[in-house]
Amino acid sequence: MREIKCFHNKNARDFLVEKSSVKFMSKEIVNRVRNFHKKFSHYKPTPLESLDNMANKLNIKKIWVKDESFRFGLNAFKVLGGSYAIGVYLSRKLGIDINKLSFEKLKSPEYKKKIGDITFVTATDGNHGRGVAWAARELNQSAVVFMPKGSSKHRVDNIRKENAKVIVTEKYYDATVKMAAEFAQKNGVLIQDTSWEDYTEIPTWIMQGYATLIDEVLEELKKEGESALTHIFLQAGVGSLAAGIQAYLMSKFSINRPITLIIEPNNAACLYKSALIGDTKPHVVDGNLSTIMAGLACGKPSLIAWNILRDYSDYFISCSDRISENGMRMFAKPLLGDPKIVSGESGAVGLGLLIEILNNDLYNDLKESLGLSEDSRVLIFSTEGDTDPDHYREIVMDEDQITL
């Protein structure tokens, strides 16, 4: 039975960068983002691991994995977007160029007095909210984080450890975002990693913050004298990370950019659905969005993210939870000589998908369409570690289910 559904966006190579919506990810802005993050006392590039034996087993040239479980000690990449958005917001409030600011300066008594007390508000499945709460705590500010029903106790507890107030709702993710937005109107500043009509500025700053991930990757590959990437696997919830990286690639490489795959769980594949319908508009997936990939369990695309992904992404993929589970196990129990990577449910789906496409004859047509061959050099983002340790152990210990 086919567990992967695919839409090939044959128009993705029709747009030139000068006609695009990716100017918000210019070289100047990327440099500004990197400089801001580099000023953090906790900053250092996360590891770019090479799965050479896995690549050899799958008969491709290279597999690189960007391991975000090491990001600022928060076990996920999301803090890059939230911290940068808060930095831009405060720089504008102060009337100071963000290039002249750092978190160290912003939390000094001098700047804290000028800024005053602010409550940063967000909704999250876990990782984004923890990043916003961490940034607020670092700045001696407050955070209120709304979480959807069914949220992992570990993820709730980790956010509370950042001194944030956590409100677990009786709603699913998209309705919880609405609750957070309504609360913020009277009580604080909404730092949300999705967008809608009349709420696009802060989500754009968050997407800019994610440029650090791909910029670090290309910096490391250049340092190692490696050849250019041919394929990038990008998981997506509302699409902000995927769109941020897609915009970066389009701005930097235009038509010569790598082939991109946007990956979602079957029960929350709003971007895949939107691409399949093909009327250029974002479409909503209804229901309970049941999936182990909690960070990707979003039924409504971010408006600005969709506009970018619609125009420039080559493939939209919807896949089963088993694909992610297999990726988690292969990261945890790698082939001899490859590094072990702790990758959570939303982080491992890229590796699981690559293995499934190259190891299952059912997908020979997709393999051929993608042009995956012995010369392919693939980048995968492991976007989170074991953010729910109990569930992580339960999955990776079931070694009988590994397929390779």
Catalytic residues: 78, 125
Q: Which residue has the tokens 């956590």?
A: 166
Given a contact cutoff of 8 angstroms between Cβ atoms, the answer to whether 272 and 299 are in contact is no
Cα dihedral value 83, 89, 90, 92, nearest 10: 140
- The encoded tokens of residue 395 equal 């999955």
